[in-house]
Structure 1
Amino acid sequence: MKTTEKVFDGLVVLEYQSGNKKSLSILVKRHHARLCRHSYRYTYDFEASKDIVQDSWKVIISKLYTLKDPNSFSSWATKIVTRKSLDHLSRLKRTKKNIESIHKGSIINDVTDDKEAEIRKLLLAIKELPENQQMVLKLFYLEEYSLKEISSILNVSIGTTKSRLFHAREKLKGILKTKKR
């Protein structure tokens, strides 16, 4: 996420913390769709991701006054959505539902063009990676979070984040090379 966006979010958070309730709608408009996409990457279920983000907003709003670094709102909110998404998956596992059925309806099935076929191959290759490496790739390249922010979101060290990103890239190269043959 760009520095200017972080600063803008920080200013909006400070406005909210100082009593301007209208500033909350700005945060929701700026982040709701992104948070839904982030949750979807865990659940592969649009309806569940919307519910998770809705529940996350309740937590975000109730704890927004305690946020010490307003510029970190985006990564802080993403961390809350990540936790809620993981809790959701844990509940599914505890009830012994088939997790594979969640992956139905993935955007990969909708890809048809030549250029999109290449994207499909890349997405399929990414799906072959371990979940922790997939998440680091998505946060780094799609959401444009820094390594430090990713380590905070996933609650792992920066070294672990760097290692996962490195190994994900290397495995991805290997997977794509074997698919070309």
Structure 2
Amino acid sequence: MRKFFIVTAAAAAFVAIPAVAQDNGSAASDGARTSRLEPYVGVMGGWEQFDNERNAGIPQSPNRNDRLNGALVQGVVGVNATVAGPLFVGIEGNVIKGVSGDIDWEYGAAGRVGVRAGQNGLFYGKVGYQWANFDKFGDNSRDYHAMTYGAGVEVGTKSGIRVRGEVNTFGAAHSLRPMAGLVKAF
């Protein structure tokens, strides 16, 4: 049921964000964005590997060399708000599906803060909360959860399409999740 709710919420946000963005500002004569709010959606892919340590916030494998890991596809939806000049803050939600390896689903939310670089670039840090579920422990395995921290960069065109590169962790740096993909700002 939880997975159905997450997928439904993501689909609703994907449909609603362009409608909200239509009356959210305009472009200056040079093409620069004058809007204070910038909703966006994106799709990314990457890899995550968890530590195999006691007290890491996730289950420990009996084999010390066996670490929970896998390839991932991630959907993101969020909004940025300009604070002053190039500074912005934002909120973002994500849903991640493991496509190979031990990870089944992940989902979470984070706040972002960063600076704009030129008209279409962003540098940011983020902090939030993430839940993870692993295929390795069967269909009824529980969700493991912890704070998540990350940093990233986006570069793009005036059309609002940006390439994003990002690295996140789970808990106190108990995983490494590099991701890359495309984001469309409205």
TM-score, normalization by structure 2:
0.23
Relative to its length, the structure with more helix (as a share) is 1
Larger relative contact order, structure 1 or 2 (CA cutoff 8 Å, min sep 6): 1
Relative to its length, the structure with more strand (as a share) is 2
